[in-house]
């Protein structure tokens, strides 16, 4: 008989509040399809960081699975669509269901303030 150990190093349970916000976002609908919903979001060094839900590219190996922490590629823009903020990256669109307590909304404000002068991360570092 095999002993099995299930370990999840990079995960978090969604709170009832997170799930309620995700349901509201799904009910709202969006003109352009979204890749996933993020909870506990903050924006750092042009990347979005949060806990993912409903990622379209979730695979059988657990990548992009619900409850996993995710770091997005460079954020190109963040716009308000209805009651929610939508973050567009190089390859994806994420609905921001909830923000990280304490600094999530302030990181969004800072990104919006600086977004006119920020430059994308270079593809090749010297």
- Answer whether 50's CB lies under 8 Å from 39's CB: yes
Residue matched to tokens 């976002």: 25
Residue matched to tokens 């308000």: 80
Cβ neighbours for 32, distance < 8 A, ≥ 6 positions apart: 93
pLDDT band at 2 (very low <50, low <70, confident <90, very high): low
What percent of the residues of the chain are helix, what percent strand, and what percent coil, each to the nearest 5?
Answer: 20, 35, 50
Q: What is the pLDDT of residue 25?
A: 94
Q: What is the pLDDT of residue 14?
A: 77
For residue 99, pLDDT beyond 70: yes
Residue matched to tokens 């903020």: 85
Rounded to the nearest integer, the mean pLDDT of the chain is 86
pLDDT band at 7 (very low <50, low <70, confident <90, very high): very low
Where do the domains of the chain lie?
Answer: 16-114
Looking at per-residue confidence, does 124 or 82 come out higher?
Answer: 82
Q: Residue 11 is inside which H or E element, if any?
A: none
Looking at per-residue confidence, does 114 or 36 come out higher?
Answer: 36
**pLDDT tens by residue, 22-63:** 999 999 989 899 999 999 999 998 899 999 999 998 888 878
Provide φ and ψ at 87, rounded to 5°: -105, 125
Looking at per-residue confidence, does 64 or 84 come out higher?
Answer: 84
């Amino acid at each position: 008989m095999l002993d099995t150990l299930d370990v999840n190093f990079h995960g978090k349970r969604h709170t009832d509040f997170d799930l309620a916000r995700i349901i509201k976002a799904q009910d709202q609908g969006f003109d352009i399809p979204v890749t996933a919903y993020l909870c506990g979001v903050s924006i750092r060094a042009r990347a979005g960081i949060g806990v993912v839900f409903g990622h379209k590219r979730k695979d059988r190996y657990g990548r992009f699975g619900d409850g996993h922490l995710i770091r997005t590629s460079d954020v190109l823009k963040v716009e308000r669509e209805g009651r929610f903020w939508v973050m567009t990256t190089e390859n994806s669109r994420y609905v921001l269901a909830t923000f990280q307590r304490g600094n999530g909304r302030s990181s969004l404000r800072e990104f919006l303030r600086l977004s006119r002068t920020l430059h994308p991360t270079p593809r090749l570092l010297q």
